[in-house]
Amino acid sequence: MNDNYSYLVVDADTREACAIDPADPERAVDAARRCGAKLTTVLTTHKHHDHAGGNARVRAMMALEENGSVDVEVYGHAMDKCHGTTREVKDGDVVRVGARLRFLVIHVPCHTLGHVVYALLGDEREDGADGPTLANAKAMFTGDAIINGGVGAFFHGNANDCYENLHVRLAPTPDDCLIFSGHEYMETNLRFAKAIDVDDQITANCFFAIRLHRHQDAGTMPSSLRVERRLNPYFRCRDRDYLKTLLASKRRLLNRKKRPWWHRYCGPNKQALEVQRDRKVDTCALANIIDANGRGGHGEASREEAVEGIRFLRGLMGDVMETSDVRFGDDAENKAFREYVQIARATGTTHVVVSELVSAA
């Protein structure tokens, strides 16, 4: 589990702590000990072993007298039957830890049926103006629902579910809410985002900044919803101009693919193949929906357009993987990255914060 993230959140007043997805139980318990905190709670985002596999072990370790004989409560959604769960949660529940920590549960089915995110709310006020709503979220632990710069695989959902999660259920969350996801995939995700929007300089700058962070063996957490809404393709599908960019990228990527070897003998020539590929883009579902809306103009996409855009993104992944190295980058990217590093070192900007790049745009 080299790319997994687990988190420890400590109540400053009582020193009670909760662990989110402690897949490595020994490290979670040790981290709490080193913080001078008592681990009393585990919050599980979903059932997969690399997130829930350490739950029972955490309970067993904390039950030992040397660890304070703590009866740890493990929270998870009923639909996922997470390993080691002692308390089931549902959408809208609030889990309290210590005197001040409040986590609002939001059910976001798609990666799994019982996937939830936990929104850490601000301090309570006596006038009740800070009720348990996403408008008061300061940080969010998203598991695999949002993986910085992307989303998790649709194992138990589809594009419509993804749309509901990002653009309906989580829509009230403020831009400055911090995002702590379950995996370190931001470099790969932004490489994909850059590949499908080659003219977006903001995405390119943020990608190179993230790649430099990873080159220095630094993590990329946290992100923020402002960053995700600007860089993450699954959020950007609400922008009609972005959907048109995806269509243009599909056309470009198809024409970059090599002709099958047998085309030399019985297939269409290069020009005819390009015509076929252009027709494939022009008649795809996303293009048809946009055309049906009179090309739609600019601004916010309709729900139908955005859902089809999310579905379209899944196909674009395959096109990008066929035409470039999504893990390590191609020669052109590596050359551009070396130039970026030289400039960053010369200007003393090797530790650029991505949120600042997005905010300054």
CB crowding 170-197: b at 16 or more within 10 Å, else e: beebeeebbbbbbbbbbbbbbbbbbbbb
Active site residue 80: no
Q: Which of the residues 24, 51, 93, 319 is marked catalytic? A: 51
Q: Which of the residues 83, 115, 183, 213 is marked catalytic? A: 183
Q: Which of the residues 77, 83, 107, 111 is marked catalytic? A: 111
- Report the alpha-carbon distance of residue 125 to residue 129 in Å, rounded: 6
Active site residue 50: yes
- Report the alpha-carbon distance of residue 336 to residue 156 in Å, rounded: 38
Q: Which of the residues 21, 48, 77, 115 is marked catalytic? A: 48
Active site residue 51: yes
Beta strands (DSSP E) in the chain are 7-10, 16-20, 38-43, 73-77, 87-89, 94-97, 101-107, 116-121, 137-143, 178-181, 223-224
Active site residue 183: yes
Active site residue 144: yes
Inter-residue contact 73 to 42 (CB < 8 Å): yes
Active site residue 77: no
Q: Which of the residues 21, 24, 93, 144 is marked catalytic? A: 144
Q: Which residue from 233, 207, 206 is spatially nearest to 301, judged by alpha carbons? A: 233
Q: Which of the residues 11, 21, 46, 167 is marked catalytic? A: 46
Catalytic residues: 46, 48, 50-51, 111, 144, 183
